[in-house]
């Protein structure tokens, strides 16, 4: 899983039958080198048929796929070669459900040939073609991991954008993208301080939230749209112009509070019932300032991080890709009417078998 937050490549080795998760044996994040990060950033929200960019898309896709293969090979070696399938999400550069278009950079056929393992990818495309929003894809995995929890329970994934999954008393499942996440925080500190992220939320905690700007940010039309709904990484880019003129610290505090306010607003407006617990995963779970803001807004809900449960927060989506790949092999659905808006549960993913041996 390549994070649109540009953190790097997340990978996980899990043991599953596509219904239960028996073990997460290993997980890691391999940071991008500066070249890949910059090239991905330059192509964000661009389509591969954009004039003059075809060669850059092709070149970067091969480089990115080889980088994924190197990380996957380390996992395969750790498992003594006993890997049945690789779930490969790739890197989302463009996602627009209203146009029925998405683009996840990554060559599944090449990855299969590089690793010598069966690969499943194109999960998002299958859902879009069936009339869904193409996300969130990971809700069925979170439901599996939270099967033994007291219900209702919710999971907030704060990655490049934020998504919510709600599981009811009888296993009812709903999910939707909720709003901005780490991408907006990362973009602010990168363009104003040259940093890749607000490390440990240190900038945000030393700043002050500008309430007037926050109100303007929350006027985005997305929040009034009823779920199921999905977002592109740069959906809030124009709104973030309201931050200009703030200090580095105040801007970081305000955009962090924006991510929190969007989650809390969405939970209050769209959840069928208030969850007893909210489990936070993704890179946002490692931001103590964001977690502090979130807990202050939800005093009646037990807000915990995935790490508190022994889950690695920043590789949960990678784990979910392995889970979805397994479900594809067993022809089990990955998306549902109340998670992505498909008319009926949808089996997602394209299977690639290795045909030739290519060195990484």
Q: Report pLDDT digits (tens) over 162-207.
A: 999 999 998 899 999 999 999 899 999 999 999 989 999 999 999 9
Q: Is the pLDDT of residue 118 over 90?
A: yes
Work out the pLDDT band at 132, boundaries 50, 70, 90.
very high
Work out the pLDDT band at 124, boundaries 50, 70, 90.
very high
The CATH number of the structural domain formed by 139-314 is 3.30.420.40
Cα 41 to its chain centre, rounded Å, is 16
The C-alpha atoms of residue 156 and residue 154 are separated, in whole angstroms, by: 7
From the list 18, 108, 86, the residue with the least C-alpha distance to 326 is 18
Q: Classify 8-132+321-333+348-352 by CATH class.
A: alpha beta
The C-alpha atoms of residue 241 and residue 236 are separated, in whole angstroms, by: 9
Domain with CATH 3.30.420.40 in the chain: 8-132+321-333+348-352, 139-314
> How much is the pTM?
0.89
Predicted pLDDT at 359: 83
List the structure tokens of 166.
Answer: 């709600």
The 3-state secondary structure of 197-257 reads CCHHHHHHHCCCCCHHHHHHHCCCHHHHCCCCCCCCCCCCCCHHHHHCCCCHHHHHHHHHH
Q: Is the pLDDT of residue 44 over 90?
A: no
Buried b (16+ CB within 10 A) or exposed e, 263-284: bbebbeebbeeebebbbbbbbb
Contact 81, 72 (CB under 8 A): no
The C-alpha atoms of residue 203 and residue 250 are separated, in whole angstroms, by: 8
Crossing angle (nearest 10°) for helices 54-78 and 108-115: 40
150 secondary structure, DSSP code: P
**Long-range residue pairs from 48-56, CB within 8 A, at least 24 positions apart, any chain:** 48/103
Buried b (16+ CB within 10 A) or exposed e, 33-46: eeebbebbeebbee
127, 262, 298 from 210: Cα distances, Å: 39, 15, 20
Predicted pLDDT at 13: 97
What does the pLDDT average to over 121-146? 93
Predicted pLDDT at 100: 81
Question: Rounded mean pLDDT of the chain?
Answer: 94
The C-alpha atoms of residue 199 and residue 60 are separated, in whole angstroms, by: 28
Main-chain dihedrals φ then ψ at residue 352, nearest 5 degrees: -120, 125
The C-alpha atoms of residue 317 and residue 332 are separated, in whole angstroms, by: 18
Work out the pLDDT band at 305, boundaries 50, 70, 90.
very high
Predicted pLDDT at 239: 82
Predicted pLDDT at 206: 96
DSSP-assigned states of every residue in 295-319? HHH-TTSEEEEGGGGT--GGGHHHH
Query: Could you tell me which residues are beta bridge partners of residue 173?
Result: 167
Q: Is the pLDDT of residue 4 over 80?
A: no
Q: Is the pLDDT of residue 281 over 90?
A: yes
Predicted pLDDT at 156: 97
* Residue 241, burial from CB neighbour count under 10 angstroms (0-12, 13-18, 19+): exposed
Q: Is the pLDDT of residue 3 over 80?
A: no
Predicted pLDDT at 339: 97
- Give the tens place of pLDDT for each residue, 198-249: 999 999 999 999 999 999 999 999 999 999 999 888 888 888 889 999 999 9
Predicted pLDDT at 123: 95
Lowest mean pLDDT among 226-240, 248-262, 287-301, 336-350: 226-240
The C-alpha atoms of residue 290 and residue 185 are separated, in whole angstroms, by: 10
What does the pLDDT average to over 236-263? 94
Main-chain dihedrals φ then ψ at residue 129, nearest 5 degrees: -65, -25
β-pairing verdict for 119-121 and 86-87:
parallel
Q: Is the pLDDT of residue 73 over 90?
A: yes
């Amino acid at each position: 899983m390549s994070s649109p937050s540009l953190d790097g490549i997340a990978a996980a080795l899990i043991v599953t039958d596509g219904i239960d998760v028996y073990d997460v044996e290993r997980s890691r994040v391999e940071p991008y080198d500066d070249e890949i990060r910059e090239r991905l950033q330059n192509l964000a929200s661009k389509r591969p048929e954009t004039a003059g960019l075809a060669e850059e898309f092709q070149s970067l896709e091969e480089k990115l796929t080889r980088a994924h293969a190197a990380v996957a090979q380390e996992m395969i070696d750790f498992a003594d070669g006993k890997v049945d399938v690789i779930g490969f999400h790739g890197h989302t550069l463009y996602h627009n459900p209203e146009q029925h278009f998405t683009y996840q950079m990554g060559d599944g056929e090449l990855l299969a040939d590089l690793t010598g393992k069966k690969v499943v990818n194109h999960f998002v495309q299958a859902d879009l073609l069936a009339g869904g929003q193409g996300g969130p894809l990971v809700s069925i995995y979170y439901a599996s991991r939270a099967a033994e929890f007291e219900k209702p329970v919710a999971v907030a994934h704060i990655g490049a954008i934020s998504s919510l999954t709600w599981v009811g008393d009888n296993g009812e499942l709903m999910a939707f993208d909720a709003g901005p996440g780490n991408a907006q925080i990362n973009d602010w500190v990168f363009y104003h301080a040259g940093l890749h992220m607000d490390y440990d939320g240190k900038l945000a905690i030393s700043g002050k939230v500008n309430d007037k700007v926050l109100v303007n940010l929350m006027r985005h039309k997305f929040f009034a749209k009823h779920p199921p709904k999905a977002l592109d990484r740069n959906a809030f880019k124009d709104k973030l112009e309201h931050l200009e003129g703030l200090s580095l610290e105040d801007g970081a505090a305000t955009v962090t509070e924006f991510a929190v306010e969007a989650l809390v607003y969405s939970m209050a407006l769209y959840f069928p019932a208030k969850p007893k617990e909210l489990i936070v995963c993704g890179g946002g779970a490692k931001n103590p300032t964001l977690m502090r803001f979130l807990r202050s807004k939800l005093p009646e809900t037990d807000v915990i991080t995935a790490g508190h449960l022994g889950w690695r927060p920043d590789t949960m989506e990678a784990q979910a890709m392995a889970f979805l790949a397994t479900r594809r092999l067993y022809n089990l659905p990955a998306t549902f009417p109340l998670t992505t808006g498909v008319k009926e549960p949808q089996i997602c993913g394209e299977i690639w078998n290795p045909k030739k041996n290519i060195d990484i």
